[in-house]
Copies of this chain bind each other. A is one copy, B any other.
């Protein structure tokens, strides 16, 4: 394993999702990736950047984000070159976002290998992460689409799973396997079986592949989407044509997750590989996850997030997120979730954390979108 950046590798960070289950912390204008959710002192986006730059080099990280987030992204990532910020006019899901990056980058470097990593996940044990990516790049050079599946830390029902199949013999990738199939989020019984069976890995949405291989797969499975992306890429490096092309083509692109447009079809053909990742990973999908991430694992602890937090807790556990300077007093509330922002307050329990998205939908329906 060299410590140098990988010559033919380009990192791609799709920074799109709002993180509705983290409302009212995450908002349309303050999405999850622009928050410090770990107490690291910087945003998840910046953490992601810092994790990837040793692998690709700073000049070889592309960010795909909404036009509305351009200023924030450039503020967080002063090292990102202007030509590596790919702006969407609206969210069109991961196939369009990653496919656009692939289509643009392949024109610059026909043999480029791209690795796509969400902007808002948390990873610890960075050296193990790097090791996994370097293996995945070696596998991708052989023409496979390679994902990194996380060795489960528990029987989680919150993630999809990847079932690995046979060992794949590739130089520089001692842990490579082919993928048998993808599995949607399971129920608890099934999750327990998956956890006992070491062949099931968490799908962390990381894909490493030659850009041309990804595009070829997309061309077969989603030809219209593929054609739109090529047309966009062709116009991209001409500043005068880029904006109008996005306005014209982007809103018509099919919204589909890359798992369905690329990864699953590739798995069926035996062209999807996986590297097991031996590091702590979390997509911080809801406040239960955020609570666990910030409480040092103690079940009776109260995690507190917020620089100016003034929390007084008596026999309480769970998580408080404070974005105001108000005194917050908790008495005898267990597994509580309190999110205190200037215009909205959420009170729930970690058990109900997944239901937060329903509130966001209800707020939209009842005309209170001002707090979304």
Contact = CB atoms under 8 A, between A and B. Distances in A.
A241 interface: no
Contacts of A346: 329, 331
A212 interface: no
Interface string A331-372: 111001010111111111101100110110011001010010
Indicate the size class of the contact surface on chain A: 35 or more
A363 B312 CA distance: 8
A339 to B, nearest CB: 9
B363 A344 contact: no
A319 to B, nearest CB: 12
Nearest to A355: B331
A310 interface: yes
Given A327-B344, A362-B312, A352 B332 contact: yes
B343 A326 contact: yes
B347 A338 contact: yes
Nearest to A372: B327
Contact of A345 (B345, B363, B366): B345
A310 to B, nearest CB: 7
A94 to B, nearest CB: 28
A314 B363 contact: no
B371 A327 contact: yes
Nearest to A339: B329
Contacts of A325: 343
Given A312-B359, A358-B314, A349 B327 contact: no
A155 interface: no
A173 to B, nearest CB: 45
A6 interface: no
| A327, A343, A358 pick with most chain B CB within 10 angstroms | A327
A235 interface: no
A367 to B, nearest CB: 11
A243 B345 CA distance: 47
Contacts of A327: 24, 343-345, 363, 368, 371
A123 interface: no
Given A343-B326, A371-B327, A314 B349 contact: no
Nearest to A318: B347
A196 interface: no
Interface in A292-344: 310, 312, 314, 325-333, 336, 338, 340-344
Contact of A359 (B329, B345, B348, B366): B329
B331 A356 contact: yes
Contacts of A362: 312, 314
Interface of A: 24, 310, 312, 314, 325-333, 336, 338, 340-349, 351-352, 355-356, 358-359, 362-363, 366, 368, 371
25 contacts: A24-B327, A310-B368, A312-B362, A312-B363, A312-B368, A314-B358, A326-B343, A326-B344, A327-B343, A327-B344, A327-B345, A327-B363, A328-B344, A328-B345, A328-B347, A329-B345, A329-B347, A329-B363, A330-B348, A331-B349, A332-B355, A333-B336, A333-B349, A338-B345, A347-B347
